[in-house]
Structure 1
Amino acid sequence: MKPATVVSQGRLRGKNIKNMATEQHRQRPIYDSDENEDHDSTTLIRWNNFDFCGFSLKIARMMDPRLGISSYIWDAGISLCQYFEKEDVTFTGKKVIELGSGTGIVGILAALLGGHVTITDKPDTLKQINSNISINVPFACRHRLKVRPLTWGEDQTKFPTDYDFILGSDIVYSSVCYPALLETLRYLCNQGTTIYLSSELRTGNGSIPFHDVILPDYFNCEVVTRLEPKCIAVYKLTKIGTGHVRRVCGPLSLLAPKKKKENPQSYPSGGFERVMPGSRGPPFGRF
C-alpha cells in the first residue's frame, strides 16, 4: 500500500481525466489569497496535497470557526482513500453518497473513480466542499457530483434509497450522534448497498461498542483493513436480510449521554459526557 504523500507543486500523474483534474491547480502557490474570494476576506485557507489512485488532489481547508472539526483532514479519511487505492476499488457507473464529508476528499476521489456521487454535510461546510470540487474535478465530470446538506436523523428522508455505496470517514466519534447516524444509515441502505466506514476507535466515546454491538444488529460487518498504531479500522457493511431476528438488548441505551456528577462545568453541553472536538485528534491537516 502506497502511503499518502504531500506532493510538490506541479507533480502530476496520469492521463486523460487524471490530467484534467490535476491541470486545474498546476503552478498554484501553497497559499493564494484569490482562492477565498467567495468567502469572508478574513478566512484563512490552508492547503494539503495528496496522491491517490493516480490522481493528485489539492485540498483546501477553510479556517472558519463555523466549520470547527470539518476544516481538518482526519486520518480515517486518508486511510479510506488508501484502501480504495490498495484494493483497486472502482465506482464506475455506481451511485454513491458520502456522509459527513468535511473537506470532500473521499467523495471527490470516488467521483474521479467513476462514481455518481452525492457529497453531504451540514450547510456551513458546503462552500468548502464546492471549492475543492472546483479545484480537483474537471468540468466535464462535475455532472456526476452533487453537494447537498444532510443532518442525520432529520433530512435523510429527502434522499433516495437506491445507493450502491455509502461512505463515511471518522463520522463515528460522538455517542450523542450515534442514534441519528444509525437511523440515517438504515434509511439510505438497501439490500444491494455496500457501506464503507473508516473509524478511529477511541476510548470513552462508545465507538467500539457502536461498531461491535450496535451495527451488527442491522448489518453484516467486516473489518477489511486496520491501521496501527492509530487504531483506525475500515469496516465493510451490508444490510441484513429481512428474515434476520434482532437481539433484544436495547444496546443504544448503553450509548446514551450520561450525567457527569463530579464536574458538570467542564462540559459545555450542560453536564453530559460527550467527545469534545479536540479529542478526535490529532487530525492529518493540523501541521
Structure 2
Amino acid sequence: MEGSEIMSQTSETTEENKKDILKDFQTSFFTMSRLASFPWTFLENDLESNKSSELISDILKQTCLHSLCQKFPPSVRYRRLFLSELIRRQEAAGSDPLDELYDALTEVVAVAETTECYKSYLLPSGDAVSLLENVALISEGTTGLVTWEAALYLAEWALDHRQTFTGRKVLELGSGVGLTGVTVCRSCSPSRYVFSDCHPRVLQKLRDNVQLSGLTERTSPSVSVEELDWTDVTVERLKEIGGDTVIAADVVYDPDIIGSLVQLLSKILRCSSAEVVPEILICSTIRNPETYSSFKQQLENAGISHHVISGPVSKVFPYDRVSAIEMIKLYM
C-alpha cells in the first residue's frame, strides 16, 4: 500500500473518530450526564498534539452554541460546570485561547438558577425529545418529575421493537415526565397513546411536556393525558381508556403501592375481551430486590403469570447501566 493511501485512511479514521466524539459530547451534554462520563481523553490528546482549539470550538457548536441549547437549555449550573471544565482542560494543555468559550461562560454566569431545566434525548432519526424536568431527583413529594433509568431502557426497547406499538392503542401507567411515551409516539406509530399518572404536579408537568413535543388529540398519533388513581379506578373507566399495549417503567419501587398496582393490572387483564388481550410490559430498575420479589409474589397470588424479556437492547441514550433493569410480560 502506498504511503499516500495509508495517510488518507488514517485521516479518514481520525475524522470518523472526531465525529463520534462530537456526537458523544452532544448526547451527554443535552441529557446532563455526569461530566466524568465525557470522552475527555480524546480531547486532551488532541489538545496536546496540535495545541489548537479547533476541537473545543466544534464541541461548543454542538453543545452550548447549538440551536437546541438556545431553545431547550440544560440547567444553568450544569452549563457553568461544563464550560469551566472545557476551559480548565484547554488552559492545562496550553492551547490557543478561544474567545467564544469565555464569552459563553460569561453569558451563563449572568443567568439565574432555577428549579427546572430541559433535558433533550437524541433519537437515532436525529430528532430530539426535549422535556422539562426538575433539577432535584425528589421534588414536591414525588419522584415523578425526572426521567429514571427504566424509562430510558423501555424507550430503547421500544425503538428495537416498534411492531409492539405500531397501529395500536397504548396505555402507559405512571408516565412521569413523558420520555418513554414521547419516544414511542415519535418513532413507533401507535394509533393512539394515553399517558397517565395521579400526582397533580406530575400530571401538570406531563401535560406541559406532551404539548412541548407537539402531541395533541388532533395529531397522529392521537394523544391524551389522563389522571389514573390505581386505588379506585373502575373497570368501566379502564374499558373507556382501552389499550392494546399497556406499559409502565419504574413503578415498582415503593412497597406501599405494589398492592394497588397489582390490583390495577388484574383489572386490566380481566376486563379485556377474549379477542383482544392487552400486551402488558413492566420495566423495573431493581433497586431493592425484596420489594421487587414482593411484586412478583403478589402478581402470582392474583393469578397473573409473567416471563422475563431478555436479549440485547440498542444503546441510544446515555445513562447509568450499572443497576439491574428487568422487563417482564404479564398474562393470565
TM-score (norm 2): 0.56
- SS for the counterpart of 2:71 is coil
Structure 2 residue 27 is matched with structure 1 residue 6: yes
Kindly state the Cα deviation for residue 31 of structure 1 after the two structures are TM-superposed: 5.1
What is the CA–CA distance in structure 2 between the aligned matches of 1:151 and 1:231, rounded to whole Å? 28
**Could you say which residue in structure 2 is the equivalent of 1:270?**
none
Structure 2 residue 136 is matched with structure 1 residue 72: no
**Could you say which residue in structure 2 is the equivalent of 1:37?**
none
User: Superposition RMSD on alpha carbons, in Å?
Assistant: 3.2
The 1:29/1:83 distance shift into structure 2, 3 A limit, reads closer
* 1:106-164 deviation per Cα after TM superposition (whole angstroms, max 9, x unaligned): 12222222221111112221111111112223565266111111111212442327421
Contact 2:146–2:176 (8 Å) recurs in 1? yes
Find the structure with the greater CA-based Rg. 2
**Could you say which residue in structure 2 is the equivalent of 1:146?**
224
Residue in structure 1 matching 2:257, options 166, 177, 181? 177
**Could you say which residue in structure 2 is the equivalent of 1:61?**
133
**Could you say which residue in structure 2 is the equivalent of 1:131?**
208
Kindly state the Cα deviation for residue 77 of structure 1 after the two structures are TM-superposed: 0.5
**Could you say which residue in structure 1 is the equivalent of 2:238?**
159
Residue identity matched to 2:260:
A
The 1:88/1:221 distance shift into structure 2, 3 A limit, reads same
What is the CA–CA distance in structure 1 between the aligned matches of 2:219 and 2:247, rounded to whole Å? 20
The 1:29/1:95 distance shift into structure 2, 3 A limit, reads closer
- SS for the counterpart of 2:122 is strand
**Could you say which residue in structure 1 is the equivalent of 2:330?**
237
- SS for the counterpart of 1:206 is helix
**Could you say which residue in structure 2 is the equivalent of 1:221?**
306
- SS for the counterpart of 1:85 is helix
Structure 2 residue 121 is matched with structure 1 residue 28: no
- SS for the counterpart of 1:234 is strand
1:252-271 to structure 2, matched below 5 A, reads none
Residue in structure 1 matching 2:194, options 118, 123, 135? 118
Contact 1:48–1:59 (8 Å) recurs in 2? yes
TM-score (norm 1): 0.64
The 1:138/1:149 distance shift into structure 2, 3 A limit, reads closer
Residue identity matched to 2:189:
G
Kindly state the Cα deviation for residue 29 of structure 1 after the two structures are TM-superposed: 4.1
**Could you say which residue in structure 2 is the equivalent of 1:279?**
none
The 1:202/1:126 distance shift into structure 2, 3 A limit, reads same
Identity over the aligned pairs, expressed in percent? 19
What is the CA–CA distance in structure 2 between the aligned matches of 1:205 and 1:71, rounded to whole Å? 25
- SS for the counterpart of 1:68 is coil
Unpaired runs of at least 5, structure 2: 1-23, 31-66, 77-112, 313-320
- SS for the counterpart of 1:167 is strand
Contact 2:193–2:221 (8 Å) recurs in 1? no
* 1:70-97 deviation per Cα after TM superposition (whole angstroms, max 9, x unaligned): 1111001101011112234452321111
48-57 or 122-131, which deviates more: 48-57
Q: Which structure would you say has the larger RCO, counting Cα contacts within 8 Å and 6 or more residues apart?
A: 1
- SS for the counterpart of 1:186 is helix
Kindly state the Cα deviation for residue 237 of structure 1 after the two structures are TM-superposed: 1.7
**Could you say which residue in structure 2 is the equivalent of 1:193?**
278
- SS for the counterpart of 1:141 is coil
- SS for the counterpart of 1:6 is helix
129-138 or 181-190, which deviates more: 129-138
Structure 2 residue 165 is matched with structure 1 residue 91: yes
Residue identity matched to 1:220:
S
- SS for the counterpart of 1:160 is helix
Contact 1:168–1:198 (8 Å) recurs in 2? yes
Unpaired runs of at least 5, structure 1: 10-23, 34-41, 241-287
What is the CA–CA distance in structure 1 between the aligned matches of 2:124 and 2:75, rounded to whole Å? 26
Which protein has the bigger strand share?
A: 1
* 1:212-266 deviation per Cα after TM superposition (whole angstroms, max 9, x unaligned): x33245333121137964111011222x1xxxxxxxxxxxxxxxxxxxxxxxxxx
Kindly state the Cα deviation for residue 51 of structure 1 after the two structures are TM-superposed: 2.7
Kindly state the Cα deviation for residue 43 of structure 1 after the two structures are TM-superposed: 6.3
The 1:67/1:43 distance shift into structure 2, 3 A limit, reads farther
Residue identity matched to 2:294:
P
**Could you say which residue in structure 2 is the equivalent of 1:49?**
120
Number of aligned residues:
214
The 1:106/1:94 distance shift into structure 2, 3 A limit, reads same
